[in-house]
Structure 1
Amino acid sequence: MTSSQQPEPSSGPPRPEPEPSAMAGLAEGYAAKAGLHRTHDGRIDVLRSAGGIQGIAESILPGLVFLIAFTITRDLTPSLVAALASAAVFTVVRLVQRRPLTQALAGVVGVGISAWLANTTGKAEDFYLPGFITNGAYILAMVISIFIKWPIAGLLFGFIRNEGLEWRKDAARVKAYRLGTWIIVAVLVLRLVVQVPLYLMGEEGLAGLATTRLIMGAPLYILGVWIAWLVTRPVPATNGTQPSNPSPSAT
């Protein structure tokens, strides 16, 4: 082979080949199960993670329908039936769209439990009581995850960023994800601080309770997750020569 046939040397150091997509596949599957999604450039898709426009509507409309119906009729039974019917409508819509029914069915079950409790106690405000219990369970789980150094923000965001569980080997990343988890905890605690006093007011606080449930539901969740995502961004590493540029999926 002559010199003209020799392959030309590369002009710079070889670029590292991307790791096999096994971790990427694991990341995608884990994030999907957790309800988190990412955009085409690797960033978190907060709106889609909250269920999209339809998912947000599914989460807030039954409570809104219940409030409107009870305000008009002052009768608990038809108000609960209206809330259940609105939740069931979304299931039918998903059937027509041939979309997964998991979220809609979960909503129907949740509204059903809330309706059963309010009907059993005869108190309209108890329609919102299961939400407090769920909220408290999330707070407890996240606080425990922080103290055992498996912060939930790391488990979720780490997979979206293709960090897998490697972040646990870096004290700075663990600290960042603990802070991110505390931010989400703060959002959940704020809900209870604002809403529990309204719940304790009985029917007098029902309108305020329902309104704050709407405002502090999906909108506040989206804001909290987005702030936690920004706070936990990896810091570009330096190798003694020049900073390395993080991949789009890490930003």
Structure 2
Amino acid sequence: MAGKTQEVREELKLVLSGKTKDALWPPLVYAILQSRMGILPAALAAMAGSLATAVYRRMKGEKTLYAFTGFLGIALASGLAYYNQNASNFYLPGIVSGGVITVVSLFSLLLGKPLAAWTSHLTRGWPTSWYWRKDVKPAYTNVTISWTVLFAVRLSLQLYFYLRNDVANLTVVNTILGLPATIGVLVLSYLYGIWKLKVLGGPSVREHVENLPKPWTGQTRGF
């Protein structure tokens, strides 16, 4: 049990400290600066940071998707803030970013290329051909469905309270369905994903890359 707990902790650290943070810090910077500098200066500072991150990733030959997601979220949020300037605008960057990722998650399911697989690919660098195997993809599809439900519920509540300028309830929603819920879902996703891969009986990433014949050991670490 202690071994599995340590494994989950290490995998969670890998996901949260990877390139996904490129999309997480711009809304936070914008929210902090907006109350001190105003909408436009805060947006320009956060967007400049996102572009700098994208350039840095490109120079290192790494993916820039998350950096541009952060940039897009700030651009949309700052634009909307001009038309609806109220106290709840503090939460607008997170709402816009949440809306974008909800749509992306839903479309990834409709296209048969689940977001959970892309997130894992960008974080770990595993070949996409492994994720799309019939004995692998269902695990990532099911996890993406759970993500989409969480994203949609959170976005619906956020929009409802935002349009009512109900800062108190908006704060409650962001507190409960924010980072704590995200971490909880990531942990459950990992545990379920490893179990589902075992049930599906597909090869591990290494076995797939090396085109090894059955019987396969399967993916026992990392999802």
TM-score, normalised relative to structure 2: 0.56
Name structure 2 gaps, 5 residues minimum.
1-10, 121-126, 202-213
What count of residue pairs does the alignment treat as equivalent? 188
Q: Tell me what 1:14 maps to.
A: none
1:64 and 1:197, CA in 2 relative to 1: closer, same or farther beyond 3 A?
Answer: same
Q: CA deviation at 1:161?
A: 9.0
The question of 1:81 aligning with 2:44 is answered yes
Distance in structure 2 (CA, Å) of the matches to 1:78 and 1:104: 19
Match 2:68 to one of 89, 100, 105: 105
Q: CA deviation at 1:229?
A: 1.2
User: What SS class does the counterpart of residue 70 from structure 1 fall into?
Assistant: helix
Distance in structure 2 (CA, Å) of the matches to 1:211 and 1:85: 28
Distance in structure 2 (CA, Å) of the matches to 1:83 and 1:209: 24
Match 2:57 to one of 94, 114, 123: 94
Distance in structure 1 (CA, Å) of the matches to 2:18 and 2:116: 27
Q: CA deviation at 1:81?
A: 2.6
Q: Which amino acid aligns with 1:57?
A: K
Ranked by relative contact order (alpha carbons within 8 Å, sequence separation 6 or more), the top structure is 1
Q: Tell me what 1:152 maps to.
A: 114
Distance in structure 2 (CA, Å) of the matches to 1:151 and 1:84: 29
Distance in structure 1 (CA, Å) of the matches to 2:162 and 2:217: 46
Q: Tell me what 2:154 maps to.
A: 191
TM-score, normalised relative to structure 1: 0.51
Q: CA deviation at 1:142?
A: 6.1
Greater helix share, 1 or 2? 2
Larger Rg: 1
Name structure 1 gaps, 5 residues minimum.
1-44, 238-243
Distance in structure 1 (CA, Å) of the matches to 2:116 and 2:43: 39
Distance in structure 2 (CA, Å) of the matches to 1:216 and 1:80: 26
**Identity %, equivalent residues:** 15
Q: Deviations over 1:202-247 (max 9, x none)?
A: 372566666668616864563354144134223387xxxxxx9642
The question of 1:70 aligning with 2:34 is answered yes
1:88 and 1:226, CA in 2 relative to 1: closer, same or farther beyond 3 A?
Answer: same
Contact 1:87 1:108 in 2 (8 A): yes
Distance in structure 2 (CA, Å) of the matches to 1:91 and 1:221: 27
Distance in structure 1 (CA, Å) of the matches to 2:149 and 2:105: 9
Q: Tell me what 1:249 maps to.
A: 219
Q: Tell me what 2:135 maps to.
A: 167
1:181 and 1:128, CA in 2 relative to 1: closer, same or farther beyond 3 A?
Answer: closer
CA RMSD of aligned residues (A): 4.5
Q: Tell me what 1:58 maps to.
A: 22
The question of 1:204 aligning with 2:167 is answered yes
1:179 and 1:92, CA in 2 relative to 1: closer, same or farther beyond 3 A?
Answer: closer
Q: CA deviation at 1:88?
A: 3.3
Q: CA deviation at 1:184?
A: 2.9
1:155 and 1:108, CA in 2 relative to 1: closer, same or farther beyond 3 A?
Answer: closer
